Structure 1
Amino acid sequence: MLTPEDRARDFPALSGISYLNTAAESIPPRCVGDAIQAYWNDKLRGMKGRDAHFAQVEACREISARMLGLSTAEVSFCSCSSEAYNLLASALDLGPEDEVVVSDLDFPAGATPWLRAAHPPETRLWRASDGALDARHLIPLLNERTKLVQVSLVSFYNGHRLLWKPFHEAVRRYAPNALISVDVTQALGRVVLDCDGADIIISSTHKWTLGIHGGCIIGVPQAGAERLTTHAGGWFHLQNAFEADRFQHAEPKKGAASFSVGMPNFVALYALNASLRYLEGIGIANIAAHADPLVCEVDKALRDYGVTPMCAWDAANPSGILAFQHNRCGEIHAVLERDHIHVMHHAGRIRIAIHGYNTHKDVVNLLRVLEPLSRTV
């Protein structure tokens, strides 16, 4: 893992703070800034810079595919997860006779496109129990009309990590016509992925991957490419964008490539290429081995303080996030901020996120503040 010297060199912004909010925004390593500067230098070359731009896109596709366990042909990019889900909706073109299952632990981007459709499918809600999704509670929601089941591998809301195997088996057995869409935004770069058999994988780029805004990774295994080809207009995703017949019909590339509708956001992909290679150099398994015990320590301390996390942290199925609710969250957050300890506070909930760049000192600083404040007056 990172030595103190590595951390000081690669993450100078972490000096003097305990940053525990990667689930909202990451602190990128210095190499990402260098990559952004490289984009700028290439951009200053005008049209001649495009060779470098597209080379970076392909390099980013290669490392992204490796991170997802897919081939390069099965990976592409768009601008954000919201765009990805709307393009997914266009690919499926569902109607009132179809059903979609979403969970109450998912981010709105993964749930709302089905509610906003011109002719919306029936949306069924898989509710968490004690902060966790239980595949046994999913089964009654599945049937032959189910066309999509949308989940997050790790919940942004409380850090719950889906038990993938029983979930996957339930969908394949009880919803034979359904596609599985999994959002790995809160997992990629932090935990070793275990979502084999997903039909589409989606991830934003500005959180645990240590990249910046303006990017989203799309992974579509080749077996489902035909079914998961968008119906969006554009040009970059077309086979015949500049052919003589382009005004008679638009011939899309299949699968993941169809999600790259327009000109790539080059600067985001320069950044992502650098950040993913940085993470790969450390090793995701090494990051998990370093950071998981820190999360476990916070979980145990909260319970000792009489605070029950919103989801039980499971060492056998870990994530980087813990969250809790408390009637003094506003006060707790204010004191943490005063002491340069950064977590997320929203609507009576505090969320703590621990990545590979965090240290035991960060946890000590957090718990020093939480111990007296967390107890109910």
Structure 2
Amino acid sequence: MSDPVPNPLFAGAPDPALIAQMANAFFAAFPGQTAPSLGVAPPSIPLVETGPSGGFVPPGAPTPPSVGHLTTTPTLPGLGPLAAAPKPPPVNPTSAPPAPVPGDGDLRTLPALLGSVLSLVPPDHAAGPDVPSGSPNLPESSAPDLPGVPSAPTSPPAAPGVEGYYFIDEADGVSLREAPTAPLPSRTDTHPLGVDLAPSSGVRAFDAAAIRRDFPILSEHVHGKRLIWLDNAATTQKPRAVIERLDRYYEHENSNIHRAAHALAARSTDAYEAAREKVRRFLGAGSVEEIVFVRGATEAINLVAQAWGGRNIRAGDEIVVSWLEHHANIVPWQQLCARTGAKLKVAPVDDHGQVILEEYERLFTDRTRIASFTQVSNALGTVTPAAEMVAIAHRHGALALVDGAQAVSHMPVDVQVLGCDFYVFSGHKVFGPTGIGVLYGRKDVLDVMPPWQGGGNMIADVTFEKTVYQPAPSRFEAGTGNIADAVGLGAAIDYLDGIGMANIAAWEHELLGYASAGLLSIPGLRLIGTAAEKAGVLSFVIDGCPPIEIGKALDREGIAVRAGHHCAQPILRRFGVEATVRPSLALYNTREDIDALVDVLRRNHGARRTI
């Protein structure tokens, strides 16, 4: 490979023997990786995507260990809640690390080696059948189609140079480099339920099966069956990158933060504050001073209700929520109203589970102080018009808190685009550890909020007469925080950035349409929540079948779903039910998972006594 073959040798059809020679040279760079037997019969050897490695190798070659996912992260005009999603900022603005030396089994050399191989093949042959010539190193393919769903069109070949990131495995961790960008066309075809089904031009085919291999627990078997995890709205599973990052923290960095001069304290502080910066970028916040680490979305809402609410809510004031809320966004406000004499007002939803904006706005008066509502319903999957709801609150002089616990794993989020004053989410809902979460608060709002807990870390000076508090965010992080899990959350964000939230959203939209069609084919099944904009949740009941018994029957087949009231009793009662079965989706779910779910439901529905 040191003497590149000049392109004139390829004046005609490519020489199969030469291609075999190139492939052998490539695989020789990786000990333990054997080149496939290529022979000389085929006129050419197409290159195909391997999935998690992000590389491209000849068909039949052994899959190398994962070094990340080469993906795109486009904005998707017309794709429901993603229409206003902003372009993500560069993930790693620092200079790139030195390029590794090819060979020696170092997978970081994979792109360079493949580029060298592909540079020897004319563009018409290198690109493959679905890739425009002239872009051999970033081939695109159409997004997956949706078998069983009529009217889903065939996606045209994608344009080269789409926006995205790819992993670079550095000595001190994984960073991300930016790929080129290009605009994408709109998507217009929709399912009767409002689920967008048209494959999105320009989005790389999403390899959920390859992503699944990044999650060790998904190799588990339950009752002798392969685990199918469809309880993602309750908690998401953790990729190996997060698990290994936690191990590395406890093995090499474990220390309290901010208050020591030794090396481990510096390492731990750096890791903790780096995680805060990753969250800031993930949410599009303007400053790390707007990011407060808490135990989860529940604690974040309680913090706002007590610290902000205790100072600003008085008797006769009003707080607006919606029928869609999780109990965690109802109970703290009820408690505040009980303490202060304020009034809780509830925005209604229509028969599809959508907030009725006109009625929502009518609830506001000159006594309304805050509106607090979900961005995605955990019980129905409804995506609310959050930016419009924030704007309405602001028009009436009220603040707005958005509960993003169910949104952050499904779609890009930008708090500045939303315009909200507060935004909350939980780490365990977004492939991070349990016991860690985030409160985003606008800096000017946080700066005038009193702390809600007292102790170490949140003080600037203490005497027996007076305490001077640190500015935000430290004033809201009393005591020793959940340092390791904050670092783990940062690793989860790195993982998602590497795949691209817009890619995840596009795949889940398509999977949601596929699952909706499959479930609706079952006699007696009724979906609860059919909003035009939905994300990742399918809540249903089947005539004559108690939800808990359906959940047990699915569990016997290794399929994990939630069956119950989902800590959202008011909205279920709005639809006349006390409980539903709730499969919920994540980036690692596949059509095969949905097929297994539908098959079990169909088989048991014909013999309800067995359920």
TM-score under structure 2 length normalisation: 0.57
The offset of 1:198, in angstroms, is 0.3
8 Å contact kept, 1:307–1:374: no
Distance 1:164 1:3, change over 3 A: closer
Q: Distance in 1 between matches of 2:439 and 2:218?
A: 30
Q: Distance in 2 between matches of 1:294 and 1:100?
A: 37
The offset of 1:204, in angstroms, is 0.9
Could you list the runs of 5+ residues in structure 2 that have no partner in the other structure?
1-205, 220-225, 566-578
**Structure 1 residue aligned with 2:496:** 279
Identity across aligned pairs (percent)? Answer: 27
Tell me how many residue pairs correspond in the alignment: 367
Q: What one-letter code is carried by the residue in structure 2 that aligns with 1:103?
A: S
Distance 1:3 1:22, change over 3 A: closer
Q: Distance in 1 between matches of 2:208 and 2:561?
A: 24
> 1:1-377, aligned counterparts within 5 Å?
1-2=206-207, 4-8=209-213, 10-15=214-219, 16-42=226-252, 48=262, 49-70=264-285, 71-89=287-305, 90-93=307-310, 94-117=313-336, 118-130=339-351, 131-173=353-395, 175-176=396-397, 178-193=398-413, 196-207=418-429, 209-238=430-459, 240=460, 243=461, 245-305=462-522, 306-314=524-532, 317-326=533-542, 327-328=544-545, 329-347=547-565, 348-373=579-604
The offset of 1:160, in angstroms, is 1.1
Distance 1:258 1:148, change over 3 A: farther
The offset of 1:274, in angstroms, is 0.9
Bigger RCO of structures 1 and 2 (CA < 8 A, at least 6 apart): 1
The offset of 1:231, in angstroms, is 4.4
Q: What one-letter code is carried by the residue in structure 1 that aligns with 2:591?
A: H
Kindly indicate which of the two structures has a greater share of residues assigned to helix.
Answer: 1
Distance 1:39 1:332, change over 3 A: same
The offset of 1:150, in angstroms, is 0.6
Q: Distance in 2 between matches of 1:150 and 1:375?
A: 43
The offset of 1:41, in angstroms, is 1.4
Distance 1:5 1:109, change over 3 A: closer
Distance 1:59 1:374, change over 3 A: farther
Worse-superposed segment, 191-200 or 180-189: 191-200
Where 2:321 maps in the other structure, the secondary structure is strand
The offset of 1:373, in angstroms, is 4.0
Worse-superposed segment, 97-106 or 220-229: 220-229
Distance 1:84 1:164, change over 3 A: closer
The offset of 1:228, in angstroms, is 4.1
Q: What one-letter code is carried by the residue in structure 2 that aligns with 1:295?
A: L
Distance 1:44 1:201, change over 3 A: closer
Could you list the runs of 5+ residues in structure 1 that have no partner in the other structure?
none
Where 2:250 maps in the other structure, the secondary structure is helix
Q: Distance in 2 between matches of 1:228 and 1:184?
A: 21
Distance 1:113 1:31, change over 3 A: same
Q: What one-letter code is carried by the residue in structure 1 that aligns with 2:369?
A: K
Q: What one-letter code is carried by the residue in structure 1 that aligns with 2:328?
A: A
Q: Deviations over 1:252-304 (max 9, x none)?
A: 34454433222220121121011111011111001111121111111222233
The offset of 1:237, in angstroms, is 2.7
What RMSD in Å do the two structures reach over aligned CA positions? 2.3
Distance 1:250 1:45, change over 3 A: closer
The offset of 1:229, in angstroms, is 4.5
8 Å contact kept, 1:135–1:170: no
The offset of 1:222, in angstroms, is 2.4
Q: What one-letter code is carried by the residue in structure 2 that aligns with 1:143?
A: T
8 Å contact kept, 2:386–2:402: no
Distance 1:20 1:313, change over 3 A: farther
Distance 1:144 1:65, change over 3 A: same
Q: Distance in 1 between matches of 2:558 and 2:387?
A: 40
Q: What one-letter code is carried by the residue in structure 1 that aligns with 2:212?
A: R
8 Å contact kept, 2:292–2:438: yes
8 Å contact kept, 1:229–1:253: no
Q: What one-letter code is carried by the residue in structure 2 that aligns with 1:85?
A: I
Distance 1:222 1:44, change over 3 A: closer
Q: Distance in 2 between matches of 1:276 and 1:260?
A: 21
**Structure 1 residue aligned with 2:123:** none
Higher-Rg structure is 2
Q: What one-letter code is carried by the residue in structure 2 that aligns with 1:302?
A: L
**Structure 1 residue aligned with 2:157:** none
8 Å contact kept, 2:321–2:346: yes
8 Å contact kept, 1:100–1:148: yes
TM-score under structure 1 length normalisation: 0.89
Where 2:467 maps in the other structure, the secondary structure is coil
Distance 1:309 1:23, change over 3 A: same
Distance 1:359 1:122, change over 3 A: same
Q: Distance in 2 between matches of 1:61 and 1:31?
A: 18
8 Å contact kept, 1:320–1:355: yes
Q: What one-letter code is carried by the residue in structure 2 that aligns with 1:73?
A: E
Where 1:322 maps in the other structure, the secondary structure is coil
Q: Deviations over 1:5-64 (max 9, x none)?
A: 4532x1122122211111101110011111221222146678753222211211111110
Q: Distance in 2 between matches of 1:172 and 1:135?
A: 14
Distance 1:227 1:352, change over 3 A: farther
Q: Distance in 1 between matches of 2:531 and 2:604?
A: 22
